[in-house]
Structure 1
Amino acid sequence: MLAGDMLRRSAARFPSKPAVIWQDQSLTYRELDAAANRLANELLRAGVAKGEKVGIVCRNRIEYAVVFFGVARSGAVLVNVSTLYQPDELAYVLEKADVGTLFYEDVFADKVDAVRGRPPLLQTFIRIGEGGEDERYADFVQRGDATPPEVALAPTDPFCMTYTGGTTGRPKGVLCSHLNRYITAHTVAMEEALDERDVVGIVTPLFHVAALNIMFQPAMLVGATTVFLNKWSVVDFVKLASRTRMTAAFMVPTQVAMTLSDPAFDPAPFASWRKLSFAGAPMPDWVQKEMLRLLPNVAMTQIYGQSEMGVLTSLRSWYLPDKLGSVGRQVYNVDVALVDREGRPVPTGEIGEIASRGDNVMLEYYKEPEQTAAIRRNGWMVTGDLGIADEDGFITLVDRAKDMIISGGENVYPKEIENALYELEQVAECAVFGVPDDKWGEVPAAYVLLHPGAQLDEARIVAHCEQRLARFKRPRLIRFVQDFPKTPIGKIQKNLLREEYWANREKKI
């Protein structure tokens, strides 16, 4: 299936139903379908050829949905660009991705102006909003023909590119086909039981796969209504849920924790909410337990995957609390295995690197052949995450392979230490990583964020860890922090925490 077919078929089934809502604006499926055709045809008339790269820098709003499907139908490749990039980062990505046409929201005009002329291929700017000298999005779309564009497309053709969060250096462009992303859309629709009755809250940025491919595409596939929140806050999320009678949402763990911990929390605005999916970072057990206590009618589905290969596992609500701490087992339409360094599946109960293969796997890291080859192993694509599976096939993450600490020749997994720290009720978030040590090579360090008003000292943490963990695993450095640097989907950027300790030194793993 082509990406544009998801919208086309839902428009045929539910022509008058709202497809996308943002603030006081909305488009029905029929209107979104026609707008996508107009944009596609105008891109073609402007000379954008099949396979050319079209970028977008925009918050969650209706125009994003039109650009998404319009570019897909034109045969061009949509490059979803983070709105958080500063000009140098923006210029790097636009040049690396070979973007020739850029849609941008007016609130980012200063950033866009700062990169004009730097990426040599970028010649066409289309402004979403008012003002400025660039072509206006509204005029561009209005000129286009609403009939389906005549472009020969195959499911295996390149369709979109998102950029990795850059937790380990410069971001990489994840180039995916129509088929790659259809597989993920169908996975989510089935695993999270979405259907046309749902009102789906899109509350994470559309430039990331978490919102774009894990929630927006599946919602369009099944004919649900999507409602966009373009800037996260608990207050605005509560208003959205109440006003739209939201039934489903994807959230990162930080958003769930903030909602439940809000002093003004009231379950009443969430009366219609029935489905929550989460991923992007480990969800602390206390957050899941609070969801079960405060919003027992919301079925939680934990999903695990990556931009490079979509959703790999899911943990459905009926496996809680028995499988709490697991990320679930492989989804119904994807191959998943735990493999060793040679790409051979490891026996049950042994630690291996989580890997996948099949039509869900990306085409490549764009213009990064060595990086692409580095994660392919004996027919599998490896995730960089270490896991262990039980007899039922449920996988528990052990840690990132690159985060593993080797201390005095012993393997230390930061996640094991983090799990021990989360047993202390005062701990809201924590991050454990290795710091250099002249005797042991490296030792664990723990950065800890406490719940508001909570009190905890270093001695109590050390004592708790000595009770729960082998001595060589206990943190040798503990620092209390007020917040953490995070990616847009809530992953703590441990590389930034490590920087001050590893400057001018090489980590030998």
Structure 2
Amino acid sequence: MDPLPLIVPVEPFHVQLLKSCERYGNDVALTDSETERSLTFRDVHLLSVRMATEFKKIGVEKGEIVLCALPNCLEYPLIFLGLAMNGAVLSGVPHDLKQYELSEYLRQTRSRFLVACKDQSELVQGLDHVKVIFAESLFDSLDNSDVPLPESDFVHDATIGPDSILLAPFSSGTTGTPKCALLTHENYSAATASLKAYSIYETKKYKFRVNGTFKNYTA
């Protein structure tokens, strides 16, 4: 069987997600299993724009990596989308990390910003050249906005393409110190497209077309 032609979107990955949020509107997008608090797709879209605006005010710039040391929470996807809208990169690290681990993550990423919880105040004391953003204050700023901010009001002044970095996860560290990997919008678009195609066609081989160029991929 010939490889199935699969076109990988060239628009930024976060734009694809935000368009899906517009499409599904008031359907539930996220639910906290402990508190049962939920966000609709419309909520995710609106709050992500507010998050992007807050990061822009703080001074987050395109291409820089922002460390995030939070537990799983409803706001995590909002942080991801808010950073992506600014062309910035999310690097998630464990909430219960130790001081030496944090120092290593900061060294590898050269991050100027760290999103943390107030219960980590002792951990983040004395960090030089790093601005600590406490999540509680950041989330309060989203809820306290008086007027809904439409997505069109956010100034998109960062040029973001398929090769722009989207996420910077760390490896598990099974062979030594965890290493930071840089993943692009194209990486995530291709992975998402392949998973969708695999679930539909149940084939093992695809041919991706990115910017008119075919790339072979074996699932």
The TM-score with structure 2 as length reference comes to 0.77
Counterpart residue number, 2:48: 36
Residue 166 (structure 2) pairs with residue 162 (structure 1): no
Letter in 1 for 2:129: L
Task: Name the structure 2 match of 1:126.
Answer: 134
Distance 2:69 2:14 in 1: 21
Q: What is the correspondence of 1:293-442 to structure 2 with a 5 Å cutoff?
A: 330-333=204-207
Instruction: Report the Cα distance in structure 1 between the residues aligned to 2:130 and 2:205, rounded to whole angstroms.
Output: 40
Kindly indicate whether residue 135 of structure 2 is the aligned counterpart of residue 137 of structure 1. no
1:186 aligned residue (190, 193, 200)? 193
Distance change in 2, residues 1:122/1:13 (3 Å) = same
CA distance in 1, matches of 2:126, 2:216: 38
2-side partners of 1:192 and 1:85: how far apart? 36
Contact 1:127 1:137 in 2 (8 A): yes
- Percent identity over paired residues: 24
Which AA in structure 2 matches 1:153? I
Segments of structure 1 that go 5 or more residues without pairing to the other structure are 129-135, 194-315, 317-328, 335-357, 361-392, 395-509
State the SS of the aligned residue for 2:160.
coil
Q: Equivalences for 1:68-83 in 2 at 5 Å? A: 68-83=80-95
Higher RCO (CA-CA < 8 Å; seq separation 6+): 2
| Structure 1 residue 117 displacement after superposition | 2.8
Secondary structure, counterpart of 2:166 in structure 1: strand
How many aligned residue pairs are there?
196
Per the alignment, in what secondary structure is the counterpart of residue 189 of structure 2? helix
**Matched residues in 1 for 2:12 and 2:216: separation?**
13
Structure 2 unpaired stretches of 5+: 1-10, 209-214
| Partner of residue 147, structure 1 | 151
Using the TM superposition, give the Cα deviation of residue 121 of structure 1 relative to its aligned residue in structure 2, in angstroms.
3.3
Cα 1:171/1:58, change in 2 over 3 Å: same
Distance 1:46 1:115, change over 3 A: closer
Q: Secondary structure at the residue paired with 2:161?
A: coil
State whether structure 2 residue 13 is matched by structure 1 residue 12: no
Q: How far does residue 160 in structure 1 lie from its aligned partner after superposition? A: 1.1
Letter aligned with residue 147 of structure 1 = E
Tell me how far 1:179 sits from its aligned partner: 1.3
Distance (whole Å) between structure 1 residues aligned to residue 74 and residue 207 of structure 2:
31
Partner of 1:482: none
TM-score, normalised via structure 1 length: 0.35
1:40-59 residue pairs with structure 2 within 5 A?
Answer: 40-59=52-71
Q: 1:22 offset after TM fit, Å? A: 1.1
Q: Give the C-alpha shift of residue 147 in structure 1.
A: 2.5
Equivalent residues of 1:42, 1:145 under 8 A apart? no
Q: Which amino acid aligns with 2:206?
A: Y
CA distance in 2, matches of 1:20, 1:359: 34
How far apart are residue 46 of structure 1 and its match? 1.9
Q: Which residue identity does 1:97 align to in structure 2? A: T
Cα distance in 1 between the residues matched to 2:142 and 2:198: 35
CA-to-aligned-CA distance 1:24-58 (integer Å, 9 cap, x gap): 11111111011111111111122211112212112
Moved runs in structure 1, 4+ residues, more than 6 A? none
Letter in 1 for 2:114: L
- Answering whether residue 29 of structure 2 is matched by residue 22 of structure 1, we say no
User: Is the Cα contact below 8 Å between 2:14 and 2:85 reproduced in 1?
Assistant: yes
Greater fraction helix: 2
Match of 1:113 among 122, 133, 152: 122
1:159 Cα deviation after fit? 1.3
Residue-by-residue CA offset, 1:275-311 (whole Å, 9 max, x unaligned): xxxxxxxxxxxxxxxxxxxxxxxxxxxxxxxxxxxxx
Mapped to 1, the partners of 2:19 and 2:216 lie a distance apart of 22
Distance 1:180 1:165 in 2: 20
- Report matched runs for 1:90-105 at 5 Å: 90-105=102-117
**RMSD of aligned alpha carbons:** 2.8
Q: Is the 8 A contact 2:22 2:45 kept in 1?
A: no
Q: Distance in 2 between matches of 1:180 and 1:117?
A: 36
Q: Identify, as 1 or 2, the structure richer in strand.
A: 1
SS in 2 for 1:66: helix
- Distance change >3 Å, CA 40–CA 359, structure 1 → 2: farther
Structure 1 position 113, deviation (Å):
2.6
